[in-house]
């Protein structure tokens, strides 16, 4: 297996070199919380690269993840919020502002996937109001892109009849409290924390759907494939690095490096094929691909760090950053535990 064999998949739409160059240059500052992710989103928006077809989004997220996982993760959330609002018939002016990067999107939909899977109910509670709107109370336990006035999309549960809905609201709305962001092992620039909702008013026009199950089934392919994209981008970049340094004593690692390179190629082949035809894979296929991509990234970053020796152990090195970024993937919702639990239901 050679580095060329973990190069961009032939079926993937091309990503301009200026994109990878731009995000490579900002990666260190963004990772350490000194850079502003919103600059990257606006830069992409000014070039018409936010939104678009799923195959293009997957290729873009994957390419950026190879240089800056924080930026790729932020882009994933931005794209999903655009998807949610599009599907829910939201105001086109708002959607356009997200496509330009002028507005920032927060995907708080992980509880929706857990609810539909039967794991736990949505924690945000809703009260129906006479004007057709909804009052929100409860926690958003974790979300990213929590910048001032960001657009949040979240599920809500109504206790009186155990029904569900999906709503949108601004982070600047009355009754929204964003907790201080903790210091993270990596991705410190993603403005990630928890949010408390107390009496937050959502207009009737901002209720995107009252069919949570149908909504989740519709968005789940894009949700999982774009997450797989940032796993695959990190995995491919690290596998290439390991391959390039498989010399001297490191030649003893050849079987392990060949194995991880083959796994990355397998993940990427399916990822790009399914991004072009998202109705083709079944739910278990998507879950398995996401799980395999996360595992490949973890193994690839470990091997890259091993082949680089002391140079990779320097805290500020790109190799060290990728190792820390990979540690995030098993806990990103759906977590490794959730993926394995859901897959066990298909056995």
The residue among 194, 210, 226 that closes a domain is 210
Residue 16 has pLDDT above 70, yes or no: yes
Instruction: Verify that 169 and 289 share a domain, yes or no.
Output: no
The residue among 55, 83, 100 that closes a domain is 100
Residue 8 has pLDDT above 80, yes or no: no
Q: Which pLDDT score is estimated for 233?
A: 98
User: pTM (2 decimals)?
Assistant: 0.96
Tell how far CA 6 is from the center of its chain: 21
Residue 31 has pLDDT above 90, yes or no: no
Q: Which domain holds residue 245?
A: 213-344
Reference 110, options 139, 87, 137, 130; nearest CA is: 139
- 283 to 221, 279, 342, 343: CA distances (angstroms): 8, 10, 10, 9
Instruction: Verify that 142 and 164 share a domain, yes or no.
Output: yes
Residue 3 has pLDDT above 70, yes or no: no
Instruction: Verify that 222 and 201 share a domain, yes or no.
Output: no
Residue 182 has pLDDT above 70, yes or no: yes
The domain that contains 111 carries what CATH number?
2.40.110.10
The domain that contains 324 carries what CATH number?
1.20.140.10
Instruction: Give the chain's domain count.
Output: 3
Could you tell me if 206 and 168 are in contact, meaning their C-beta atoms sit under 8 angstroms apart?
A: yes
- Rounded to 5°, angle at Cα 322 from 321 and 325: 90
Tell how far CA 183 is from the center of its chain: 19
């Amino acid at each position: 297996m050679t580095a060329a064999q973990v190069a961009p998949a032939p079926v993937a739409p091309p990503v301009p070199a200026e994109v990878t160059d731009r995000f490579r240059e900002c990666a260190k500052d963004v990772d350490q919380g000194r850079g502003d992710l919103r600059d990257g989103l606006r830069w992409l928006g000014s070039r018409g690269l936010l939104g678009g077809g799923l195959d293009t989004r997957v290729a873009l997220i994957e390419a950026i993840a190879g240089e800056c996982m924080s930026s790729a993760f932020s882009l994933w959330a931005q794209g999903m919020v655009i998807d949610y609002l599009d599907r829910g018939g939201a105001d086109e002016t708002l959607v356009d502002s997200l496509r330009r990067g002028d507005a920032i999107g927060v995907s708080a939909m992980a509880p929706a996937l857990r609810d539909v899977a039967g794991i736990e109910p949505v924690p945000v509670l809703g009260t129906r109001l006479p004007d057709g709107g909804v009052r929100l109370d409860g926690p958003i336990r974790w979300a990213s892109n929590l910048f001032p006035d960001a657009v949040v999309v979240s599920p809500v549960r109504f206790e009186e009849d155990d029904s569900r809905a999906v709503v949108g609201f601004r982070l600047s709305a009355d009754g929204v409290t964003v907790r201080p962001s903790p210091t993270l092992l990596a991705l410190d620039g993603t403005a990630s924390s928890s949010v408390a909702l107390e009496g937050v008013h959502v207009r009737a026009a901002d209720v995107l759907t009252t069919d949570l199950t149908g909504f989740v089934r519709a968005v789940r392919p894009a949700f999982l494939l774009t997450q797989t994209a940032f796993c695959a981008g990190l995995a491919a970049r690290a596998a290439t690095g390991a391959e390039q340094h498989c010399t001297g004593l490191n030649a003893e690692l050849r079987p392990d490096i060949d194995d991880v390179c083959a796994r990355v190629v397998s993940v990427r082949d399916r990822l790009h094929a399914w991004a072009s035809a998202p109705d083709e894979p079944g739910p278990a296929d998507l879950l398995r691909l996401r799980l395999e991509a996360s595992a490949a990234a973890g193994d690839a970053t470990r091997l890259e760090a091993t082949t680089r020796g002391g140079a990779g152990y320097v805290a500020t090195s790109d190799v060290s950053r990728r190792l820390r970024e990979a540690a995030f993937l098993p806990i990103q919702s759906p977590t490794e535990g959730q993926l394995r639990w859901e897959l066990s239901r298909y056995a």
